Amino acid sequence: MLILGIESSCDETGVALFSTDAGGTLLAHALHSQVAMHQNYGGVVPELASRDHIRRIIPLLRTVLASSGRALAEIDAVAYTQGPGLAGALLVGAAFAEALATALGVPTVPVHHLEGHLLSPLLSGNPPRFPFVALLVSGGHSQLMRVTGVGNYALLGETLDDAAGEAFDKTAKLLGLGYPGGPALAELAERGRRDEVKLPRPMLKSGDLDFSFSGLKTAVLTKVRELAAITDQQRADIARGFQDAIVEVLVSKAIRAVALSGLQQLVVAGGVGANRELRRQLDAAASRARIAVFYPELEFCTDNGAMIALAGALRLQAGLAGKVAGAFAVRPRWPLTDS
C-alpha cells in the first residue's frame, strides 16, 4: 500500500509518501516551513498560514512524487491532519486531501496531529515496541500518554495551563528573542550559568502526572523587571534557569509515569523533544531507572508530513478503516483520547 500524508495544522506544510511494503518504508518527504514569513509578526498569523499552505501543497506533492519515482495513480490512500490546529490551515490540507482522493477514487484517513507525533519514533532505525509511555511536548500540548497500540491511547497527565513549547515561546519573547522562541531560548541557555537564576519547579511534588508552566513565565517576567538593565550574560542565565526548571519537571514526571505504568519504554515526541538539555537529562535519568528512551529523528520532532503518512498507514494496517473520500470536517480542538 502506498499512503500519501499531508500536514498543514500550523506553520509547516508537510507532504510524504509511505509504503507499507517490506515492513514499511518512508519513500519521500518534503516540508516547507513558514517561519521566515511569520517572523516579521513575532508569531503565527493564521490567515497568512492558510494562504501559504495553498501555495506550497502542490509543489511539495510534485517533489515527493519525483523523488520517490512514484505516480499519483499508484496512491492507495490519502492521510491528512484533521486536527487539532488552526482551523483555516487544517481546511487547506483537508480539502486538498479529500479532493485528490476523490479524483483518484481512494479512501482518506483523517489523522490526529498528536497521534502523528507520538508514532513518529517508529520512523527511526531503532523503533520502540508497543506498549510504551509517550511524553508529548509541542507548542500546543504537554501530555503523558499510555500507548497500548495504534489508536489505543490513555491520558496519564497533562498541562493545566501553558504547553511546554508555549512556555518556551512566551519566555523567549520576554527575553527579546524572535519567533519561534523555543530553539532560540535553548541556544541562549547553553551560555547560561547553572543555578545563577533559580526558578520554581511547578508541580514537581504534586503527586500526580500533571504539569503547569504558566507560573514559570511569570517568574521570568519578575526577574527581568528586577533588573534595570539586563546584560547578555544575565539573559543567558535566566534562559538557563528557565530551561533547567522546565526540563527537571518534564524528566521527573515522565520517568514517574513509566514507573507507575509498569512499562520500560518512554517515547518523547513533539517540537520540545528536539531540546538538547531535555534529551541529556532524560537519557541520564532513564539509564538510572533502567528505562529505554526513544526519540524521533530530529527532522521528525517538529511538524512534518512523514508522521502523518505513517499514522495513516498504521491505522489502515490496524484495521481502523479509512473513510470514503468526499465530505469532511476539520477538528481544531480534538482530545487525542477521542480519536
Q: Which residues bind Zn ion (CB under 5 A)?
A: 138, 303
Give the residue with the Cβ less far from ligand KG4, 180 or 202: 180
**Residue number, 136 or 177, with CB nearest to Zn ion:** 136
Specify the 3-state DSSP secondary structure of 148: strand
Query: Could you say which of Zn ion, ligand KG4, none residue 181 binds, taking C-beta under 5 to 8 angstroms by partner kind?
Result: ligand KG4
Which residue's CB is nearer to ligand KG4, number 169 or number 237? 169
Measured CA to CA, the distance from residue 191 to residue 201 in angstroms comes to 21
Regarding 296 and contact with ligand KG4 (CB under 6 A), the answer is no
Q: Is 140 annotated as a binding residue?
A: yes
Residue 275 among known ligand-binding residues:
yes
Residue 274: left (phi > 0), alpha (psi -120 to 50), or beta? alpha
Ligand-binding site membership of 32 (annotated)? no
Alpha helices in the chain (DSSP H): 35-39, 46-68, 87-104, 113-119, 164-174, 181-189, 214-226, 232-261, 276-289, 306-317
Q: Is 139 within any annotated ligand binding site?
A: yes
Which residue is it, cell 514517574?
256
- Whole-number minimum distance, CB 239 to Zn ion, in Å? 23
214, burial (CB in 10 Å: exposed 0-12, middle 13-18, buried 19+):
middle
List 97, 249, 274, 282, residue binding ligand KG4 (CB under 6 A): 274
Contact between 145 and 134 under an 8 Å Cβ cutoff? The reply is: yes
Least spacing, CB of residue 169 vs ligand KG4, in Å: 5
DSSP state of 267: E
Please identify, using beta-carbon distances, which residue of 68 and 275 lies nearer to ligand KG4: 275
Q: Write the binding mask 242 to 271 for ligand KG4: x where contact by CB under 6 A, - elsewhere.
A: ----------------------------xx
113 known member of a binding site? yes
Q: Are 82 and 53 in contact (CB under 8 A)?
A: no
Q: Which residues bind ligand KG4 (CB under 6 A)?
A: 10, 138-140, 165, 168-169, 180-183, 186, 270-272, 274-275, 302-303
